[in-house]
Structures are given as C-alpha cells and as structure tokens.
Amino acid sequence: MYRGDAVREHAVKAVTLAVLAAFAVPAWAQSTQQLDPITVTATRTPLPQSQALADLTILTRADIERAQAIDIAELLRTVTGVEIARNGGPGQVTSVFLRGGESNHTLILIDGARLNPATAGGAALQNLSPELIERIEVLKGPRATLYGSDAIAGVINIITRAPDGTSIGGSLRGGSLGTREATLHSSFAGADHGIGLQAQTAHSDGIAPCAFGGPDRGYDRNSFAVNAGGKAGRAEYDARFFHAEGNTEYVDFCDPGFGNQPLDQDFRNQVAQLNARLSLTGIWHTELSLRRMVDDIRQQQANYLGQKDRVRTVRPSADWHHTLDFGPTYRLSGGLRYARESVDALSYGTPIEEDRDIWSAYLQQEWNRGPHRTLLAAAFTDHDAFGSQWTWNAEYGWSLTDRIRVGAAAGTAFRAPDATDRFGFGGNPDLDSERATNVEMFWQQSIGQTQSLRLSVFQSNVDDLIAVVFDPAAPADDPSFGFHAVNIDRYRNRGLELDYTARAGRWAFNAGGIAQDPEDRSSGEALLRRARRSAHFSALYRIGRDEAGIEVLAQGRRPDVDAQSGAATESGGYTLLNLVSRLQFARAWSLQARIDNALDKDYQTAAGFAQPGRTAYLTLRYSN
C-alpha cells in the first residue's frame, strides 16, 4: 500500500474512533432539549422518530439549507451507510449505495410516490433540487411490504415543502464551475387551506468528466413544485406536483483514443398526485392516493445507426390505505396498491415497449405494552414481470430503561426485473425477481438530554441477482452476440453502523461510521464501488442565528472497473474537508458560504471519472 493510501485508511479509522470517543463526553450536554421529529416513512403513519424501530435518519430543512448542496445525492453523503458514485462532476450520472446494496436496491420516493424508473438504473437524484425539499427520510433495511419492488437496502423518501403560514422568500447562489442558481418560494395558508409554490433555475459549467481531461460538461435545470391542501370536517386533502427538466452534457466514452466526444441529453422528471384522508370513525382512518410519475430522457445526438436514443417510463398508480388506531397500545393498518408501468425506449437499435400491471395487498400491526414494542407486516404482490411474491417484516424493541432500548428486526424484499433486463440488449423475459433477506440488531441510547447514539449490526443476503453473461455456444445470428441476462449472482453484506449526535451550548456534533464486508458470494470478491470503511464527522458552532462549521468525509479503498479498459482496478480512499458558514445580517436576510474539498484533494468516486477540486459558493437568502 502506498503511504498516501495508508494515511487515508488511517483517517477513516480516526473518524470512526472519534465516534467511539464521544462516549467520553461528560455531562456538559445538559442544556438543550433535542426535538423528536415525526416520520411517515417507517410505518406509513405519523410516528416520532424515537419510537421507530427501523434505522432512520432525517435531514431537516435546516440541514438542507446549511448544506447548500447542488442535488439530493450530495446531501446524502453525510448519512451513515450511504455511498455516492458519480461519473464526473455536477449533473453526471450518480449512483447511491445504501448499506452495500446495489444502486437499484434503494427505492426513491417523492412524497411517497415511486421515482425509480422501470428501466435500467436507479432514480436520477442528480436532477433533483434540494431547494424544493422540506426534509429527507432515509430508512435502512427492507420495506417491500409497504412499498413494493426495489426496497431491498432501504427507502429514501424526499418530502417537498408544504404551505406553512404566509411567507415569501428566495435565494441567489453563485460560485465555482460557473454555478448560478436562483430560487423563489411562497406560502399562503389559513386555518383550513393553503398553497405553497417553489421554483428554481440552475446552471453549472461542470468539469471534464474523464480523469485524463477533455471538454467540460455541465447542466441546465429548471424545477418547480406546487403543494396545496386543506381540510373540511373529518376530511383532509392535498394536491402535489413536482417537475424537473433540463439538459445534461456528458461524453460518450472515457477513452483518449476512441471516444470522449461531447454529447447531451434532455431530461424530465415529474410526479403528480392527489391525496384524500377521511376519519370514518374515532379509530378508523382511510387515505386514497392517486399518482402519476414520468421519467423521460431524450438523447440529442444520433447513435451509429442514425437513431436518437430515448428512455421513458410512465407510471400511474393508486393506493388505498386504512388505519385502525386503538390508542397508544395497538394499531392495525393495511391496504391495496395498483400501478401500471409503461416503457417506451430505444437503445442502440433495440426498441423496448412494455406495459405491465402490479397489484399488492399489505397488512401491518403495531403493538406496544410497557417497555415492549413490536411490528409485524406482510404483503402479497402480483407482478407481470415475474408472477407473485410474498414479503414480510418483523421488528421488536425492548426499553431496558427510559433511555436505553435494544431490539432486533428481520425482513424480506425483492426487485422485479426491469424492462431493460427483460427486453433490452441481451434481455431475458423469463427472469425471476431478485430476492433479499435482512436481519439486524440494535442498541439505542440517550445520554442526558442532548446526546444520542445508535449501534446497529446487520446482515443482508440477496439471491438471484440479474447479470449479463456471455454464452460461447450462442448461434452466429444471435442479435445479442452471445450476451444474455440470467439469474446467477448473489451477494452478502455484514456490517456494523454507529451514529452519534450531541449538543453542548452553542456547539452541535454529528458523527457516524460503518464497517462492512459487501461480498459477491459467487466469486468471493468485494462488490464494486463499495468501501469496507467509511465515516463522517461534523461540528457546528452557533451564535444567535449565525453559525460556522466543518464537515469531514472519509472513505476507504473500493474495488472498481477501469473506465477505459474495463479491467478490474481499485479506487483509492480519500478524506474530504468541507467548511460552511451563515451570517444573519438582517431580520430576513442571510449570507451563506460553503467551501467543498477545502484541502483540494484529488479523488474519484467512480474509477476513471474526475471529481471537482476545491470549490466555493455563496448563497444570499431572503425569508420572510
């Protein structure tokens, strides 16, 4: 190992040890009571985060504003167990790996609506603006019982800003890489009705995606969201609309001899939904949600066949949810889901047109008695792509004292083969679903009024992973040249996670780390682009409404595939230092600054693809 790599590995260990050292923090943290945010993702019903048995991280609106992130993926870097791989700079294709899972094993939601496309890859987090978001809930572990396919490693629920009183505001941002952003938001709300509007336009010149150089490739993005709702008697209703569109520049291949040609594509991500809730009796509550999701990408240059590639998913869906709430000791919930996925795609001469129907029925019970809390859930899904599937979750928590809780959880999940798996290049319409089983034990503790920690030990097993393999016996006229998708691979990940938070007067601390062993059980090799060790630490100092802080991100070495040759390689570990500050210079005006990669480290999150060096940004914000 080179000396620089050893230093980076030690940095990862040092940040992890800093988390453990937090146990030595004395009783200085007794002055400020931490709030207990409400989550809707863990059980699909409002629940204080401290009562959720699942491992859950919530990024609040204050966290989002402080981060000044360019997209949702950048926000998630400080969530323990989340790893980001980006094929270049801002706006380039981005993958999220949660607890060592595949990038398409994390389900992305917007206000509870599925965002994952029905084609290859995960949701396009690089297209989503944080300025339109109220909070993000990251739930780790399987949740197919409540949300269906793809919720193997976990669920990331992105919740847009709801109307809150009467206010108006906006922000202007500029900085490195030719970054320019302008945002407006407004809210008009009375006692029973309200509407909120947000809009943003953003531009970045970007950087050269390939590590060896080339043309800079950036993006233009326009986003807006509308959230309106009200109540009348026992009924509540809301309508939500999220829309992001723009153009992303990139290159075809990172090869200095063949490729690195500038290309661009238009994208559109859209979610529209209507929700109605009604209290039928004092204990019986029902909610009907009607949704429509669109994921659309249009290539602007013709391929070698003279065709312009495209990928489009349209998913209308309906969800009828019921809750029987028998007070603080027992709650029963369940419902029916239906979705119709339509795919229209063309990729290098291979057209894909598919419509498929998905039906699900699910039932969940929550039981509390004294120090004990349990959750049991089961679901049946009938899917056109592979048939039927049963999934379940079982969770138990025991409060040893009023500050210590231990527990265990187990569950199953699946990922249905997407349209590309079945009908794309080398596709196989007879594929089975990928199936997962997860077990976890945890220790959760409050120390005084302002410190908390959670220690989780987990194991995930996924079977029947879909892979494209070469068949040397394929006939000469095989349109896929012998390459075919099959259910062949399997992986296992064992790991330990630790999260710690503390407040001490004007100081706030957050730290976390994961040690894991994501392994391909077919070959015994480590999974690509996933580190065995990663950690983060942040410290924030506040004086009134002014604040300044540091953020440290450390990640170990990761196996990968070279972007040019396709040969196996390894990406070096890295440690990044980021700085943030905020100056409230008037009642409604503030100025924020952020320096990313302050030490100007040269690093990669995907082998062969460059990442920005030191960058700096200023944000002028008005909120009234």
Q: What is the pLDDT of residues 284-315, one digit of tens each?
A: 999 999 999 999 999 999 887 888 999 999 99
Question: Which candidate, 143, 614, 196, 607, places its Cα nearest to that of 381?
Answer: 143
**Mean pLDDT lowest among 23-27, 221-225, 336-340, 588-592:** 23-27
**Identity of the amino acid at 486:** V
Q: What is the pLDDT of residue 8?
A: 46
**Is 477's pLDDT higher than 90?**
no
Q: Percentage of the chain with pLDDT > 90?
A: 76
Rounded average pLDDT over 409-416: 96
- For 490-510, how does the pLDDT look when each residue is reduced to its tens digit (9 = 90+)? 999 999 999 999 999 999 999
Per-residue pLDDT, 10: 44
Q: Is 535 helix (H, G, I), strand (E, B) or coil?
A: strand
The identity of residue 24, as a single letter, is A
Average pLDDT, the chain: 90
pLDDT score recorded for residue 121? 75
477 against 401, higher pLDDT: 401
SS3 64: helix
Q: What is the dihedral of CA 596, 599, 600, 603, to 10 degrees?
A: -90
DSSP 14-30: HHHHHHHHGGG--TT--
Confidence at residue 424, expressed as pLDDT on a 0 to 100 scale:
86
**pTM of the entire predicted model:** 0.93
Residue type at 427? G
> Which pLDDT score is estimated for 393?
98
If you average pLDDT over residues 97-125, what whole number do you get? 93
Cα distances (Å, whole numbers) of residue 221 to 181, 208, 271, 419, 567: 9, 19, 16, 27, 35
The more confident residue out of 13 and 35 is: 35
Assess whether pLDDT exceeds 80 at residue 412.
yes
Instruction: Give the chain's length.
Output: 624
Burial of 387 by CB count in 10 Å (0-12 exposed, 13-18 middle, 19+ buried)? exposed
Instruction: At 606, list the tokens.
Output: 């995907």
Asked if the model's pLDDT at residue 27 lies above 50, the reply is no
- Give the Cβ contact number of residue 87 at 10 Å: 20
The per-residue pLDDT for range 49-96, each reduced to its tens digit, is 888 999 999 999 999 999 999 999 999 999 999 999 999 999 999 999
Does residue 592 register a pLDDT over 70?
yes
- 24 has a pLDDT exceeding 70: no
pLDDT-derived band of residue 17, with 50, 70 and 90 as boundaries? very low
Cα separations (Å) of 561 from 369, 485, 541, 568? 52, 20, 41, 5
- Strands 310-325, 330-347: pairing is antiparallel
Please list, in sequence order, all residues whose beta carbon lies within 8 angstroms of the beta carbon of residue 450, skipping any fewer than 6 positions away. Answer: 29, 30, 31, 32, 33, 34, 502, 503, 504
Residue in the structure block whose two tokens are 């989340």: 82
Quick one: pLDDT at residue 35?
66
Is the pLDDT at 564 greater than 80? The verdict is: no
**Residue 616 near residue 594, CB atoms below 8 Å:** yes
174 burial type by CB count under 10 A (0-12 exposed, 13-18 middle, 19+ buried): middle
Query: Residue 132: left if φ>0, alpha if ψ -120 to 50, beta else—which one?
Result: alpha
Of 564 and 213, the structure prediction assigns the larger pLDDT to 213
Residue range 209-225: average pLDDT? Answer: 95
Q: Are 306 and 322 in contact (CB under 8 A)?
A: no
Is residue 437 within 8 A of residue 483, CB to CB? The reply is no
Fold of 3-623: Maltoporin; Chain A (2.40.170)
For residue range 117-170, list pLDDT tens digits in order.
Answer: 999 878 999 999 999 999 999 999 999 999 999 999 999 999 999 888 899 999
Structure tokens belonging to residue 462: 């996924």
Burial class (CB in 10 A: 0-12, 13-18, 19+), 111: buried
Contact 391, 412 (CB under 8 A): yes
Residue 526 has what DSSP assignment?
B
Q: What is the pLDDT of residues 248-281, one digit of tens each?
A: 999 988 888 778 899 999 999 999 999 999 999 9
Query: Cβ contacts of residue 530 below 8 Å, gap of 6+?
Result: 83, 97, 100, 516, 518, 558, 559
Percent of the chain with pLDDT over 70: 93
Confidence of residue 37 (pLDDT cuts 50, 70, 90): confident
- Kind and range of the H or E run holding 419: helix 419-423
10 Å CB burial of residue 16 (0-12, 13-18, 19+) is buried
The pLDDT-based confidence of 13 (bands split at 50, 70, 90) is very low
Question: What confidence tier does 26 reach under pLDDT thresholds 50, 70, 90?
Answer: very low
The pLDDT assigned to 7 comes to 40
